[in-house]
Amino acid sequence: MYRAPVTELRFVLESLLDAGQLARLPQYADFSLDTAEAVLTEAGRFGAEVLAPLNQSGDREGAIWSAEGVQVPTGFREAYAKYVQGGWPQLGIDAAHGGQGLPQVLVSAVEEIWCGSNVALMLCPLLSRGAIEALLMVGSPELQQAYLPKMLSGEWAGTMNLTEPQAGSDLAAIRMRAAPAGDHYLLAGQKIFISYGDHDMTENIVHLALARIEGAPAGVKGLSLFLVPKYLPDADGAPGARNDVRCVSIEHKLGIRASPTCVLAYGDAGGAVGYLVGEANRGLEYMFIMMNAARLAMGFQGVGLAEQALQRASAWARNRVQGRPVPAAAAGGASSGGAASGAQPTIIQHADVRRMLLTMRASVEAMRALALYAALQFDLARALPGSGPQRAALLRGELLIPIVKGWCTETAFELVSQGLQVHGGMGYIEDTGIAQTLRDARITTIYEGTTAIQANDLLGRKLARDGGETMRTLLDEVEAELRDYRNDTGHAELPVIVAAVREGVSGLRAATNALLPQLASAPATAYAVSVPYLRLCGYVLGGWLMARAAHIAAARLGAAAGGDQDFMRAKLQSARCYAAQVLPQALALSRAVRTGGASIAEADTDLI
């Protein structure tokens, strides 16, 4: 039943973010909004016709392990083959490497569609893309020549291997060993929680794994990155001898059951052949190329799953007959959108169901806007003229990545839970599908770094590295934009929306100013409220973009041509709901950040 939100995505790209500006830059001279529309439309068709029909069946069947290898659910191999045949792996790859060279903001929009269609299947190409980017940036010409062509085409998949049984988020504890052996290394050890670490959708799998060369320094400074193929290419470049890396088990999971999460054993038969990527002892630095790409993608997973839940809940509420709604007026006046005379009322007319659906819709729109705004920064960082503007865009994009990953996934799980609540008791039944969405969404807040890890990155790396200057510059621009909207009388609700967002921005600025000195003088106190700070950033920056959407919608409603009146009215309705129902959370979070850290940092753990 999933339908790609192409109209919503087009509004964000064309109107909210003015992604068409990229066409004026030489890097994206071949890009156009017409191209974006065509790509989104076709991606939506692929998602609805190929991916979505396998979502529930894949969950029921799950991935299957055997000593010979992992088998994906029925239909997944054929769907992936269609993905490859359609040229989708090359979407965002530079033309110099045989790709289509489309901007990240469009690629991310497509990823939202596909994650909303079937997140378990699409994890495979999402992780492959991160491995490809790492090889493009730091791989030697020999490795690029041997592996990239078939990875770029999608014929071979890629993975990222970090976690070990004793080393979850603490990568300094990694024990996998790498011993020099001529032009390569022999790796031995174990990796766990490796998404698509083994499967039968591609003829080869290229693992990028962190390991420690014998004699390397202790901690993360002694980690190096290695390319370890499942099959060693022969003289013709085809998969040859099996390498000494095997999947010894897969996890039995709460959600994304169709996606194999593997335990990989390296070197049980003498050592897995691996090739050093880049320079020795810089592995974590290189791995962050993949991790940043994955974290942005995880944010879009959250958006896609929340959109899927919204569609399920909305359809259910429009068809489910249950009870009689409270009238909008005390005298019994009909509520807006009420049932026709004599018709059985459906639950969408109940006040609390409206509250849940409107909150879901408004939040999804804010999440989508902020995530795509972040993706656009990386396009600008590549394409703007001059090193100064490029660096400013890069710093802003990097600042936003942990916010997008953390806030979008945490909010997504809350929204999917609301969507289940709309279904009532039937939501708890697997047949309706919303229970699977809830299970699938839960992992998004955990993998590629838990929300606390994202929040620590936001404070310790992104906020502290320039004394908060990147955040302050962003807030200055937001406030200047909101001042321009303040006196806009195009719609009665617009000043109210803008006032609510300005209050949120003020709270975020105050929280930022309180945290910065704490990072130096009382870091435990600052980190105790890092997650509330991350959530505060998401709510406020999402509110800013909702105010922008309301401003655009009000202007178009007042114009002679008008455009799609119902669509613009819906935009104003969403922004009004966000300002009144969602954004007030920012006020509580600001207070918690400014005054609540000590209550956590100074607590006696024996009493918890």
Taking CB atoms within 8 Å and a gap of at least 24, the contacts of 173-177 are 174/210, 174/211, 174/212, 174/223, 175/212, 176/209, 176/210, 176/211, 176/212, 176/266, 177/211, 177/212, 177/214
Contact criterion met (CB below 8 Å) for 257 and 59: yes
CB atoms under 10 Å from CB of 394, counted, come to: 17
Name, in order, each residue with C-beta under 8 angstroms of 289's C-beta and a sequence gap of 6 or more: 130, 133, 134, 137, 138
CA distance 256 to 55: 9
DSSP string, 221-259: GGEEEEEEESEEE-TTSSEEEEPSEEEEEE---SS-TTS
Contact criterion met (CB below 8 Å) for 207 and 195: no
CA distance 470 to 532: 19
Strands 204-213 and 177-181: parallel
Closest CA to 45 of 8, 75, 3: 3
Phi, psi of 93 (to 5 degrees): -85, 140
Extract the tokens encoding 54: 């396998």
Side chain identity, residue 578: Y
CA distance 213 to 223: 7
CA distance 595 to 599: 8
CA distance 395 to 399: 6
Name, in order, each residue with C-beta under 8 angstroms of 11's C-beta and a sequence gap of 6 or more: 549, 567, 571
Extract the tokens encoding 110: 């497509």
DSSP string, 539-568: HHHHHHHHHHHHHHHHHHHHSSS---HHHH
Q: Tell me which residue has tokens 């039937």.
A: 426
CA distance 24 to 45: 29
CA distance 378 to 19: 12
Contact criterion met (CB below 8 Å) for 207 and 230: yes
Extract the tokens encoding 178: 């790498």
CA distance 519 to 460: 8
SS3 311: helix
CB atoms under 10 Å from CB of 27, counted, come to: 16
Strands 245-250 and 231-233: unpaired
Phi, psi of 587 (to 5 degrees): -65, -45
SS3 321: strand
363-392 core/surface letters (b: 16 or more CB in 10 A; e: else):
bbbbbbbbbbbbbbbbbbbbbbeeeeeeeb
Q: Which of 111, 365, 448, 503 is catalytic?
A: 448
Name, in order, each residue with C-beta under 8 angstroms of 603's C-beta and a sequence gap of 6 or more: none
* 398 included as an active-site residue: no
519-530 core/surface letters (b: 16 or more CB in 10 A; e: else):
beeeeebbbbbb
Residues belonging to the active site: 448
